[in-house]
Amino acid sequence: MTPELITSAQNPKLKRLLALQEKSRLRRSEGVFVVEGRRELEHCLAAGFEIDSIFICPEIDSTAASQGGYPTGQPVKVFQLSKDLYSKVAYREGTEGIIAEVKAKYLTLEDLALKENPLVMVLEGVEKPGNLGAVLRSADAAGADVVIICDPLTDLYNPNLIRASIGAVFTVPVVCCSSEEAIAFLKARGIRILTAQLQDSSPYYNVDMRTGTALVMGTEATGLTPVWRSAADAHILIPMLGRLDSLNVSVSAAILLYEAVRQRMG
């Protein structure tokens, strides 16, 4: 498809692109979000997402220009931008001159088909998109079966979350639901709930994670709510040997996920 040339920053399509990046309410109401960068877009396409529009900058990505946009295998609208205009709409630098508007998909717990002895990552009330994205990246690396985000305080398709996850938001199944729904789902499937908390806990490496396991973490400031603490099969902690009493949630998640991997490989 021959790209349509956009020459003005006042173009309505560019204004909409910027609005989608900045406003979660618009992303939710229109069911569209923005993916920036070749690697992220490739993960998005591999996960079966539908592309609505693509914006390319031939001065940055001559390959995309020669392909008429990008080899999506889908009929999409393609728009061409100058390097100056691209810099005005790009969320970050170094994204290979390609941005796409993508139609959102939202999984539910009922959509999940878990294998035997699944490894599940659960996050309750985590607010920072960068932290969520980093946890998703670790979940992908550790081969987690699903990430469940309970009572989310940030948009799953926030550009900073996508960026921090390096596209893992597309490679790992992610479900948003209430804590009560997640607990009922896990209990019904016999998946052990291990809550990360300081009170009444055992060191994480002393707890069996070889069977179906859900690792549950809350915010750094307030931790988990009582509903998770009472639902837990075991409470676990990461020993803190310095003066501080907690790690960044994404670091803690990576430690616990890889402990599960270690136990299952041993």
Domain limit, last residue, from 103, 122, 147: 103
> Do 224 and 181 belong to one domain?
yes
Among the three residues 103, 124, 150, which one is the final residue of a domain in this structure? 103
129 and 253 both lie in a single domain = yes
Do 92 and 113 share a structural domain?
no
pLDDT at 68: 46
CATH code, domain carrying 256: 3.40.1280.10
Predicted local distance difference test score (pLDDT) of residue 97? 87
As given in the structure block, the two tokens for residue 47 are 């996960």
Q: Are residues 34 and 162 in the same domain?
A: no
Residues 151 and 232 occupy one common structural domain? yes
pLDDT in tens, the chain (266 residues): 678 899 999 999 999 999 999 999 999 999 999 999 888 888 999 999 999 999 998 888 766 554 544 556 666 888 999 989 998 888 776 667 889 999 999 999 999 999 999 999 999 988 889 999 999 999 999 999 999 999 877 889 999 999 999 999 999 999 999 999 999 999 999 999 999 988 889 999 999 999 999 999 998 777 899 999 999 999 999 999 999 888 899 999 999 999 999 999 97
Specify the pLDDT at position 165: 93
Q: Is there a single domain that holds both residue 15 and residue 62?
A: yes
- Our count of domains for the chain comes to 2
Q: What pTM value is reported for the model?
A: 0.90
Q: Do 141 and 80 belong together in one domain?
A: no
Neighbours of 229 (CB within 10 A): 17
Same domain (yes/no): 136, 243: yes
Report yes or no: 67 and 3 within 8 Å, Cβ to Cβ.
Answer: no
Check whether residue 56 and residue 131 sit in a common domain.
Answer: no
Please say which residue of 79, 103, 127 terminates a domain.
Answer: 103
Q: Which domain holds residue 48?
A: 4-103
61 and 130 inside one domain: no
- Residue 181, token pair as written in the block: 């729904």
Q: Are residues 165 and 184 in the same domain?
A: yes
CA distance 90 to 189: 43
Q: Which are the contacts of 85, defined by CB distance < 8 A and separation ≥ 6?
A: 6, 7, 9, 14, 57
Residues 122 and 47 reside in one and the same domain: no
